[in-house]
């Protein structure tokens, strides 16, 4: 954890740095001479020592203060416009700087989600990024420290990194690192040294251009839309485990109605392939659209998404996994949206096509998950007012639809 002093003033030039932590603040500060050379320690005058000790105590308390309990009052930060337990944070990207708040004790994932909500339409989702924190001690930005938690007003920025091509034969796996981000897929970076392979060791900035972030995949009903793709009658005899896919799709659509999540439905060439199967209830769907294009990303669909404020995530299911689902997912990611593919609610005419498509999509950074995981993530808490209704949907486990036989 980086030790930071509490600041009560507004965004502006940092205060002079505190004396280093450790030892009594009223004790001596060393001169620039080597102590072994006999240089005498410099003593602070009593009035300065007392002031420094008070400053040091305030600094230490700000660093080690635990997260406040629910309903507690934030003592070291906040403003007249922030809610209890929230901390003002200035989020900077490119030439922009936008103030917002996050809950006290928030970490890296919450900061990333804030950046996405504030700047998602301006981010190249296939670039690599690093999150940095403004350090008062150094009067400049530093890479976000591992394990960082927001406890006081601070300033963070998202920095795109230059992607370099490395010579053949000098490649390695991408390490997991909490300070760096990549939206979408990631491939390779240069080989790590043994020192950098140790747990908690950051890659050397001189040698590496950044590392991939695991797509976070946090879902909230207010920022999510469901896409139901081509669940039509003529596919019934051809698609593997089609009955299971219908069953899981039904529970997803029921969950969407319970939680008030918009649903967009497409039908591939309905004149020849028929309409959506009767078992699937499309009551309340925002849009039911015929198409000939394999991808669901049509102008009408883009217009429908634009009418929904704050959409960040798409939950995608239907058929076929390796055709319409795959092409839809890739187009959505290219437009900056986070895509969740429901593995137990999508299939193809062959298991080979289905499984290879899911594997490819996962490597691209798209989230491959299950229907139960989606529904429980959307409510997030047993105290959610719709918990009982969602619980009733998942009391019986979803059919595995051939997925386990291929694990």
| Residues with a known catalytic role | 230, 291, 324
DSSP, residue by residue, 152-213: S-EEEEEEEE---PPPTT--BPPPP-TTEEESS----BPPPPTTTTSTTPPPPTTT----PP
DSSP, residue by residue, 267-283: EESHHHH-SB-TTS--T
Whole-angstrom distance, CA of residue 34 vs CA of residue 43: 16
Q: In the Cβ-directed half-sphere of 83, how many Cα atoms lie within 13 Å?
A: 7
What does the block give as tokens for 57? 């105590």
CA 189, 194, 196 angle in degrees (round to 5)? 60
Per DSSP bridges, beta strands 180-182 and 154-161 are unpaired
Q: In the Cβ-directed half-sphere of 366, how many Cα atoms lie within 13 Å?
A: 28
Report whether 152 contacts 100 (CB < 8 A). Answer: no
Whole-angstrom distance, CA of residue 62 vs CA of residue 59: 5
Whole-angstrom distance, CA of residue 197 vs CA of residue 381: 37
Whole-angstrom distance, CA of residue 380 vs CA of residue 85: 20
């Amino acid at each position: 954890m980086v030790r930071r002093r509490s600041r009560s003033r507004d965004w502006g030039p940092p205060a002079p740095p505190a004396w280093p932590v450790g030892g009594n603040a009223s004790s001596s500060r060393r001169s620039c001479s080597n102590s072994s050379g006999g240089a005498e320690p410099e003593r602070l005058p009593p009035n300065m020592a007392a002031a420094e000790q008070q400053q040091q105590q305030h600094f230490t308390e700000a660093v080690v203060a635990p997260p406040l309990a629910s309903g507690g009052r934030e003592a070291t930060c906040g403003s007249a416009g922030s809610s209890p337990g929230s901390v003002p944070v200035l989020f900077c990207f490119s030439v922009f700087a936008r103030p917002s708040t996050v809950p006290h004790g928030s970490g890296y994932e919450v900061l990333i989600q804030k950046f996405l909500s504030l700047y998602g339409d301006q981010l190249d989702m296939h670039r690599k990024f690093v999150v940095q924190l403004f350090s008062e001690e150094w009067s400049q930005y530093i890479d976000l420290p591992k394990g960082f938690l927001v406890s006081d007003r601070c300033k963070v920025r998202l920095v795109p990194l230059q992607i370099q091509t490395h010579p053949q034969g000098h490649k390695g796996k991408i390490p997991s690192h909490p300070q760096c981000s990549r939206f979408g897929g990631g491939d390779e970076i240069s080989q790590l040294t043994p020192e950098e392979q140790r747990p908690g060791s950051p890659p050397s900035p001189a040698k590496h251009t950044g590392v991939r972030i695991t797509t976070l995949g946090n879902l909230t009903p207010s920022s999510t839309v469901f896409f139901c793709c081509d669940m039509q009658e003529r596919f019934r005899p051809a698609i593997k485990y089609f009955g299971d896919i219908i069953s899981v799709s039904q529970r997803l659509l029921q969950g969407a109605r319970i939680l008030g999540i918009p649903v967009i439905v497409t039908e591939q060439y309905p004149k020849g392939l028929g309409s959506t199967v009767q078992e699937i209830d499309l009551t309340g769907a925002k849009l039911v659209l015929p198409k000939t294009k394999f991808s669901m990303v049509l102008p009408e669909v883009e217009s429908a998404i634009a009418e929904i404020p704050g959409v960040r995530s798409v939950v995608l299911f239907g058929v076929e996994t390796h055709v319409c689902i795959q092409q839809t997912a890739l187009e959505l990611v290219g437009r900056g949206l986070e895509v969740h593919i429901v593995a137990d609610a999508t299939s193809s005419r062959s298991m080979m096509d289905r499984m290879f498509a899911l594997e490819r999509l996962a490597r691209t950074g798209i989230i491959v998950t299950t229907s139960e995981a989606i529904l429980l993530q959307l409510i997030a808490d047993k105290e959610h007012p719709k918990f009982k209704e969602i619980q009733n949907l998942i009391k019986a486990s979803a059919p595995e639809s051939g997925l386990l036989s291929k694990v």
